[in-house]
Amino acid sequence: MGSHDGIRIGDARELTQPRRAVRILGRDAIAPQKVRIDKSGGSGASIDWKDGHASHWTFAWLRNACPCATCVDEREQFGLEPGQAKPEPAKPGALPMYKEPPRPRDIQRVGHYALRFAWNDGHESGIYSWDYLRRVCQCAECLRENAAEQQG
């Protein structure tokens, strides 16, 4: 694999890898009816979808699931799924440092299709589309469906 001016150029093996089928979601499945973001309380974000489904994510999960290209590449390097935290390198004899939990400093709607979080760690390039958020729903039902899809 090579790169040119920050552009990732894959090799032919990437073109021959089988792609996981992407399930088709109906319009109401990716259309929010109500969006709640508990910025001051810090409990996370919730969306009630027009198809009757409800989703909730903690801010830590959302930060670790950032869909920007940099974060996706970093997760792929570590073999992580969206929402999984990157392992912190262990330093022998070092005391664990306090790390402020992820919280949005600001949240903006992006058109009629997404949210953008400006995180307290300075990161703000991820655009969380409604489609992406529905596909990474963390409710028990969606986690079961996603696990079944990955198995076969």
pLDDT 10s digits, 131-150 = 999 999 999 999 998 888 87
- Residue 141 inside a domain? The answer is yes
Judged against a pLDDT cut of 60, whether residue 92 lies above it is answered with yes
Cα–Cα distance, 42 to 148 (Å, whole number): 32
Share of the chain above pLDDT 90, in %: 66
- Other C-beta atoms lying within 10 Å of the C-beta of residue 140: 8
Share in percent of the chain as helix, strand, coil (round to 5): 30, 25, 45
- Residue 63 inside a domain? The answer is yes
pLDDT digits (tens, 9 = 90+) for 102-139: 999 999 999 999 999 999 999 999 999 999 999 999 99
List 1's β-bridge partners, or say none. none
Q: What is the CATH number of the domain that holds 138?
A: 3.30.2020.30
Q: How many domains does the chain have?
A: 1
The amino acid that residue 127 corresponds to is: I
0.85 exceeded by pTM: no
Q: How far apart are the first and last CA of the chain?
A: 29
